Structure 1
Amino acid sequence: MTTLPPGPPLPAAVQTALMLRWWSAYAFACQRRYGDVFTVRLTGFGAGVYLANPRDIKTVFAGDPHIYHAGEANSVLGGMLGPSSVLLLDDDLHRDRRRLMMAPFHRDAVARQRGLIAEIAAANIAGWPVGVDFPVAPKMSEITLEVILRTAIGATDDQRLAAMRALMPRLLTLGTFDTLAIARPSLQHRRPWRALRRRIAEVDELLYAEIADRRADPNLAERTDTLAMLVRASKEGAGQDGRQMTDAELRDQLMTLLLAGHDTTATALSWALERLTRHPQALAHAATAAHSGDEDYLDAVAKETLRIRPVIFDVGRVLTAPAEIAGYRLPAGTTVIPAIGLVHAEPAVYDDPGRFRPERMLGATLSPTTWLPFGGGNRRCLGANLAMAEMRIVLGEVLRRVELATTTAPGESLRISGVIQQPHRGAVIRVRAQLHTE
């Protein structure tokens, strides 16, 4: 007999509204009331079982991927990413596409991009205002977008680059109502969402132009951008089905990289500066580390930021068959939800979890079920290596090139944009001075 854990008795429509507006706060409230496993019900998505115990999360991450479907759970992103995005695929097709996309994210490949990432960050930082408060999130977004455009898409056409730089921030600025149209693409044909549909179409035009350029490039074999690698691997029959990826399939992977590899890292960097400017000792330590080239502490800052301010609050898996989890036999069709944010805030896992303390990450051996900002199992974020390297490099460039002011202002609250938890004021900071660097 299948059963569901207890949860709020509120109607699904009410719970959906609460989640859209106060996602993490609602999950924390449910945990306080029902414990580490509870059921929520959302309009159009049925029952979702939240899991906050690392043991139960391990069951999910180590489970049979034919039973635990992450792609199906991510289907709410289909209206933006497209149906063949690696995030939306399951089973053998997911394994095949993921294998095609792994090469650009290996440690050696990421290390080769270090100089370019530092150059992009330095150029942006040089234009930051001095002596005034400003939201740093748009600056971080510019940096991470440029990194993705240059390393993943390989864009070199000046006009196309300028158009992409202008369009992507508009596309990724999602309100609550936009989120509904991403989850239900048919809504994009209706008046309130037609602007969103136009923005997606404008970006698609640019992406298809890049794909056409790459297919026609006589020097394709020498190129190192992700798009070139995908076209090359596909031509060589690397896919399990032995056929080339279509332009539409390539477009979906590029849109996935833009969304998952740009906005998330920009948000993490914004939170890092928001936290550092409110913790003078950590800021001073990080600045010293940046000037001395000590990346261990910068790495600890990045990891602690992702713990205390996870960009994605949870991940999901749709059960294709009944499964035993947390003492319940859950029915097929249930979405099980490892709650990243709940685990990261658990006092039994992290001492004084509400305190930002990068030192806790120095030399720490992190378990994949207690520190999981990139998800886990066979669906762990492909770009985790790139994201962590980018955070270390960009934080190092910021702290070497500017002197940041500290603040006693309250920490910024969360604002939900799509599935990302952003600082509600854009991580406002103040630069005391631009520093001279050799």
Structure 2
Amino acid sequence: MGEGGHRLLSARGVADAGWLYGAHVARYISPLLLYPVLTRRLGLDGFGVYAAGIALALIVAVVVDYGLSISGPRDIAGTIEGRGVIVGQALAMRGVLAAPAVVGGVGLAMINPVLDGAGFAVAMAILLGVGQGASLLWFFQGIRDPAPAAMLEVGFALAATVAVLAWPSLSVGGVMAVQAAGVWAGAAASALLLFRRHGVTAPGRGFMRRALVEGAPLFASRAAVVAYTGAGVLMVAALAGPVQAALYGVADRLVSASGSLMRPLAGLIAPRIAGLLVEDAGAAFRTARWVLGLSAAGFIVSAAGLTLAAPILVRLLFGQGFAPAVEVLRLLVWVLPLVAISQVLGLQLMTPLRMDRRFAVIVGVGCVATLGPAVLLAPQFGAAGMAWARIVGETAVVLACLFGLKAHWGALFQTRGRRDVQAV
């Protein structure tokens, strides 16, 4: 496998990956346990409202997070003395950003016809989003000890899922209220753990302006990604109505649950590559090359499997009423290998190379390449039109990432030892 591969698969790395994926399953995939129940309880229209609320929560979370879940592990891994300062600034930033996140969430809900009149559901979606954005798992990733925080997130998220399943009379807003309670309980417990293990330094005067400027590229890239991926349900709802939003929502949830398996890996690999770029640049690019090949191949296989299994999955998980979602799912699954490639090239390689501004521009290109076709296709073809728009946009992101890394092609794609170092 080579030196990069062996380092990647160290015993500690495998253990950390296990805990991160456990937390990931609780946060992103365990809601799939709810979907077979909620689609039957709420019906197409009600589930369309729920899916739009979850998309709204994702947008709010991105504003509160402001790219810290990406830059935080990198910055924490790169220092020991300054960790208290980083944490203090992060907490202050999130406290300040919560207000514009709430205002933005209310504004988006007001202009979306599917969420019109669903005041309690909107409020709980915003509360859920603020809690998700306030997660402190990034700190524990940076110190390479994610297990404690991951255990807390797993426990509280699963408890919320069980509560929803056991409470059949919950409305759309009630479901999101219980989920928000689980997220906030996990965040509070992680904060207590952090304060017990590490001191926090109050930020100095003038830090906010500097932090906003420095974090702007990563925030812009995250916001653009959400605008054309997670917020796709909101766009379908606005352009094609709640039924098409529900059909796109169930397909998107299945695809997102599969594709987001890359996120915990990024939290481990990006700090590792950042460290190797200083210690051994050749090993850093060999690690990136292995992850790129394995993840692309794995998600091609996953996409093919989901294409074949789509009719069975939709019928078993969501019921016969969601049968039109089969064709949407068969289209949308082919964004998986494209997303895998762009996440390795972007989040796991360009971010450690501190090419944040370039990556923000690339994601902006992907946003335009998705939303433009979506405006044309979704009103006529509904959820399927949005799926085609996603494929176009993700293809544009991959091509742009490859172009942006052109100066590093030699180091990334060749395999002869020391030549990798010279190519950097």
Higher helix share: 2
Fold shared per TM-score above 0.5: no
- Structure with larger RCO (C-alpha < 8 A, sep 6+): 1
Q: Name the one with the larger strand percent.
A: 1
TM-score (ref. length: structure 2)? 0.29
Q: TM-score, normalised by structure 1?
A: 0.29
